[in-house]
């Protein structure tokens, strides 16, 4: 069965950096685009970034462009999100989510599996 | 960016009754070349991640009970729960994937009356 397990969250001071990971299993990771979606406490869902199945294409939300970097290691079945210059508004649960179909070149799609999420709290 | 607007923000329905959630997009999410609406619905229970219910506006995800159905086209969509069950208490979100960035509605909270 598909499993996505995020890690790397925690309490971080404003301006610092953090790297989130998402370990995938139960499907052919290298065939699927992967996304990060976040949810601030008590708020709705906000898409953050996507990376194509082969890592060649990446897209970001305007709110994180230039500060966040999405990457993947298909040999380790792991997705990453490097978060720099953290701000209070980045406080959220960060979910990794899997594209609904394989071999897409990136961009917008629906998400058929989600991880449980990892909480990032930005606070001094 | 395409703005997704759900209505109502919350609704309370008696057990066994119908629940209807509406979702409107600021521009059409219907692709003419394949006649598909790029619209999905998710269910999120407290403390859990979202779960995919419906994609392509009306295709039910495997394992989703058939009391959940999606309809609509272009800019106006509906998620219907035909007979509300206790386990259906949750937040529901629509999402467009017609263009990047994918965007979500603000969510609709469904409760038992």
Per-residue pLDDT tens digits for B14-73:
999 999 999 999 999 999 999 999 999 999 999 999 999 999 999 999 999 999 999 999
pLDDT computed for residue A91 by the predictor: 98
Any B CB within 8 A of A5 CB: no
Answer for the pair A40, A92: CB distance below 8 angstroms, yes or no: yes
pLDDT computed for residue B95 by the predictor: 98
pLDDT computed for residue B107 by the predictor: 98
Cβ contact A47–B38 (<8 Å)? no
B77 CA to centre of own chain: 8
pLDDT computed for residue A110 by the predictor: 97
Gap from B38 CA to chain A (nearest CA, Å) = 8
Q: What is the DSSP letter of A14?
A: T
Q: For chain A, positions 44-103, list CB contacts with chain B under 8 A.
A: 44-47, 50, 59, 61-62, 95, 100
Residues of B in contact with A50 (CB under 8 A): 100
**Mean pLDDT for all residues in chain A:** 96
Gap from A44 CA to chain B (nearest CA, Å) = 6
Find residue B107's DSSP bridge partners.
none
Answer for the pair B4, B93: CB distance below 8 angstroms, yes or no: no
Per-residue pLDDT tens digits for B88-105:
999 999 999 999 999 999
């Amino acid at each position: 069965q598909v499993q996505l397990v995020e890690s790397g969250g925690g309490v971080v001071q404003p301006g610092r950096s953090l790297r989130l990971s998402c370990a995938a299993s139960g499907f052919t990771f290298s065939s699927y685009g992967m996304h990060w979606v976040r949810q601030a406490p008590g708020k709705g869902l906000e898409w953050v970034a996507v990376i194509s199945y082969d890592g060649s294409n990446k897209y970001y939300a305007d709110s994180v462009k230039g500060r966040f970097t999405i990457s993947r290691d298909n040999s380790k079945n792991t997705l990453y999100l490097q978060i720099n210059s953290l701000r209070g508004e980045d406080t959220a649960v960060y979910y990794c989510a899997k594209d609904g179909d394989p071999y897409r070149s990136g961009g917008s799609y629906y998400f058929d599996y989600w991880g449980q999420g990892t909480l990032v709290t930005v606070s001094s | 960016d395409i703005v997704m607007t759900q209505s109502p923000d919350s609704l309370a329905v008696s057990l066994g009754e119908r629940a209807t959630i509406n979702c409107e997009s600021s521009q059409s999410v219907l692709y003419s070349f394949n006649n598909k609406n790029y619209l999905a619905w998710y269910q999120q229970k407290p403390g859990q991640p979202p779960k995919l219910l419906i994609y392509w506006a009306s295709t039910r995800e495997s394992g989703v009970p058939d009391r959940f159905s999606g309809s609509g086209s272009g800019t106006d969509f509906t998620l219907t729960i035909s007979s509300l069950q206790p386990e259906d208490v949750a937040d529901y979100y629509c999402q467009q994937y017609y263009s990047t960035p994918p965007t979500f509605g603000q969510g609709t909270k469904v409760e038992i009356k």
